[in-house]
Amino acid sequence: ADSLKKIQDKQRQLAQQRAEATGKLKDLSATRTELGRQKQQVQGKLAEARQLLNTLTAQEKQQLAQAEQTRATRGTERVDLGNITPGSGHAGAAFAAAQSKIGSPYQYAHNGPSTFDCSGLTSWAYAQANITIPRQSEAQANAGQRIYSQSQLQIGDLVFFYGDLHHVGLYAGKGMVLHAPHTGAVVRYESMSNMPYQFGVRI
């Protein structure tokens, strides 16, 4: 009787686990369907944007690029951080290297020396300080000591933005970041309040 009771209890446990697993599979399937729908929407918008861009003349494309470049440059010029004193050691050297690239164009998957994406700039800057860090921002997030409070950040610390950590820059002091923002922009200073800050990393 005891053995039979144990078997019945085990069967109930297995049935419960099976029901829970079935529910999780349904949730996963629904999530996958929703992600697929969102991907189709994004691809549709990209196709529309490409189609619209293809209707522009060469002169109009050049004017659009110049307007974006001018806007990005003006954003950099408006930032006044006073006399910035770089952090000490490797972070200070990395920040000084990044400062020398202010105005350099953003280029996806490039890590210098003349064009950069966000993690390309940070990895290049630390390489100038003889420190090797991973190339991708997600991996750079695990390259040192995490700092969650902005008040504890020091100039030259890596700072990460967005929940998936796809953007990174160098802390510039006074709530600012020195970074390579996006296509059409240049390496520049920007307020960290413009993006969802996650944490900093001290190398």
Euclidean distance between CA atoms 131 and 128, whole angstroms: 7
- Residue 70's pLDDT is what? 61
55-68 confidence digits (pLDDT tens):
888 888 777 777 76
What pLDDT, on the 0 to 100 scale, is given for residue 20?
A: 87
Q: What is the CATH number of domain 84-202?
A: 3.90.1720.10
In the predicted structure, residue 77 carries a pLDDT above the cut 50: no
Q: Is 30 helix (H, G, I), strand (E, B) or coil?
A: helix
Burial of 47 (0-12, 13-18, 19+ CB in 10 A): exposed
**Which residues are identified as catalytic?**
118, 167, 179
pTM of the model: 0.62
pLDDT at 41 (0 to 100): 87
pLDDT tens for each residue of 161-181: 999 999 999 999 999 999 999
Mean pLDDT of 129-145: 95
84 pLDDT higher than 60: no
Q: What is the DSSP letter of 157?
A: -
Res 138 pLDDT > 60: yes
32 vs 187, which has greater pLDDT? 187
Closest to 118 (Cα-Cα) out of 40, 59, 179, 176: 179
